[in-house]
Structure 1
Amino acid sequence: MKIVSKKNPVPLHFQIKEILQEMIENEELKPGDAVPTERELCEIQGVSRMTVNKAIMSLVNEGLLYREQGKGTFVAKPKENKEIAGLKSFSEVMQDKGLKTETRILFFQIKEATKRIQSVLNLSDYNNKVFEISRLRMSEGEPVAIETVWIPHNLCSDMDRQTIEGKSLYETFKNKYNYFPDKAKQTIEPIILNEDECKLLNQNENALALMFRRTTYIKGEVPIEYTKAIYRSDIYKYELVFQ
């Protein structure tokens, strides 16, 4: 298990959450496996019980872990996917409604994909670098969503922070790289926001939100992005039209 860095400005509970999530995505912890107890994690990481509890509860709220009273905390089984129609970027949806949008990049980095991301994006062990981009989405000056995107590095190898600053990713795909997203698979589930998410989205503690996970494809069923987006449930709803 990786160890948190107390010199890192990222909160310790978020670092622990990321460490455990990476272990789950890399299948070091598999569905049904017990995770270390809070006491064990405190000793391993050298942090307080409250810090560990925040990390664990965040993963429970996202559905990656579950608790059984008197037994412990375990890795949850992956949820079944349900396809949902419609393929538009956040910017396009807001523009359709006549709303002004703004996007703030929280971080932009190149890294090796976890096993989960590697599988979703159909990457090989020898070509598994991805762009990981986290953005805060605003509408009419109000924070609406936190969006984290993973993009295969080999598809847009010259992309940098300036490439996407102030632009829609879909428009960048089309105009700069000649990629035309034509299909997506998406899931939606309710979650409870953690402390950092509440601050970014101006929400009260333990506020409810909607988490969207989307894999977008271009011609030939080639995955071009995997997105995890957390939307405020007090100002955002999802509408389906069946014909």
Structure 2
Amino acid sequence: MGTDDVIAAFTPSMTGETPLYEQVSSFFKQRIRSGALQPGDKIPPETALSAELGISRTTIRQAMDVLVSEGLIVRQRGRGSFVASPKMRRPLNHLYNFTENMRELGAEPESIVLDCAVEPASPELEQKLELPQRQKRVFRLRRLRCADTTPILLEDTCIPYYLCPGIEQIDFASHSLYQTLSGRYELNLHHATETIEAILIGADDARLLDCTTPAPGYRITRTSRLDTGLVYEYTESVTNAERCMFQMELYSSNAGAKNPAAIERRVSL
């Protein structure tokens, strides 16, 4: 079914209580989520929609703004509006697991191991991991995380090796890192501090993430601690902003204080 056929199936109600722009945006949401409109399909120009539906162009623009804000369509200068590719919606209000998150979204997760080794920690990494004086080695795991074969996240994780000896022998293309740390080494993530920074993705990372360069992206750094307070993970990740959005639920300070596993969120301007 083409875009014109989809539009022909919509008849706005001029007498109902729902505002016209909400009717239009809801109609497009339903068609996009049902698959009637596919990623890359072009949305008719606002002037054409206005004429076809008998609705003012201002109302059409308001409806399109809603779809853009929700990541369902994208505007391209000089070309028009198109149905966007599905984005990974990453929650920020609880401790995050890529594999579980992808399955919740109905996507098949995949991890491609780029590097898996035990190596000396740099002075900067020693400080970040708060390594003991005689324990300066780290286990480094660098992976490309994919959803339905689409690259989503380039992830570089370092863990103090004294906490997980022998872990480099495990195939993390098919095993979960967190499940391994929890089940084999009894290391349970208790608290994480994350920083999310807007960046332009460099050429090397863009090649792995299969995106043009320079592309808008996010750099995510995470420091995780055990319930004893020991740092046991430092991770830097890069993701394409066109494939990922961040979602957070906000509570009052009193409500947040009741959740000891809350992620600390910082925004730098």
Normalising by structure 1, report the TM-score: 0.63
Deviation at residue 117 of structure 1 after TM alignment:
1.2
- In the alignment, structure 1 residue 239 sits paired with structure 2 residue 259: no
On the 8 A contact 1:198/1:204 being kept in 2, the answer is yes
- Deviation (angstroms), 1:164: 2.7
User: Secondary structure, in 3 states, of the residue corresponding to 2:234?
Assistant: strand
Which residue is equivalent to 1:220?
A: 228
Looking at structure 1, the residues matched to 173 and 243 of structure 2 have their Cα atoms a distance apart, in angstroms, of 25
Distance 2:124 2:233 in 1: 13
For residue 133 of structure 2, what is the amino acid of its counterpart?
D
Residue 201, structure 1, aligned to residue 201, structure 2: no
SS of residue matched to 2:170? helix
Select the residue among 122, 136, 149 that pairs with 2:130. Answer: 122
Given that 1:89 and 1:168 are in contact with CA atoms closer than 8 Å, whether structure 2 keeps it comes out as: no
Structure 2 CA distance for aligned equivalents of residues 134 and 144 of structure 1:
14
Q: Is the 8 A contact 1:102 1:139 kept in 2?
A: yes
Q: Which residue of 2 aligns with 1:149?
A: 157
Is there any run of 5+ residues in structure 2 with no aligned partner, and where?
Answer: 1-91, 252-269
Question: Gapped runs of 5+ residues in structure 1?
Answer: 1-83
Separation in 2, partners of 1:227, 1:161 = 20
| Aligned residue among 174, 177, 201 for 1:169 | 177
Q: Does 1:90 align with 2:102?
A: no
Residue 111 (structure 2) pairs with residue 103 (structure 1): yes
* Alpha carbons 1:174, 1:180 under 8 Å: kept: yes
Number of residue pairs aligned between Structure 1 and Structure 2 = 160
- Partner of 1:210 in structure 2? 218
Q: 120, 137, 149: which is aligned to 2:145?
A: 137
Report the AA paired with residue 240 of structure 1. Answer: M
Structure 1 consecutive aligned stretches of length 4 or more whose deviation exceeds 2 Å = 161-165
Which of 186, 190, 213 pairs up with 1:182? 190
For residues 105 and 123 of structure 2, the distance between their equivalents in structure 1, rounded to whole angstroms, comes to 38
Secondary structure of 2:197's aligned partner: strand
Q: Which residue of 1 aligns with 2:35?
A: none
CA RMSD of superposed structures (Å): 1.4
Kindly state the Cα deviation for residue 94 of structure 1 after the two structures are TM-superposed: 1.3
Distance 1:146 1:236 in 2: 12
Aligned-partner Cα distance in 2 for 1:132–1:230: 16
State the 1:193 CA deviation. Answer: 1.2
Name the CA distance, whole Å, in 1 between partners of 2:158 and 2:143.
12
Structure 1 position 158, deviation (Å): 1.2
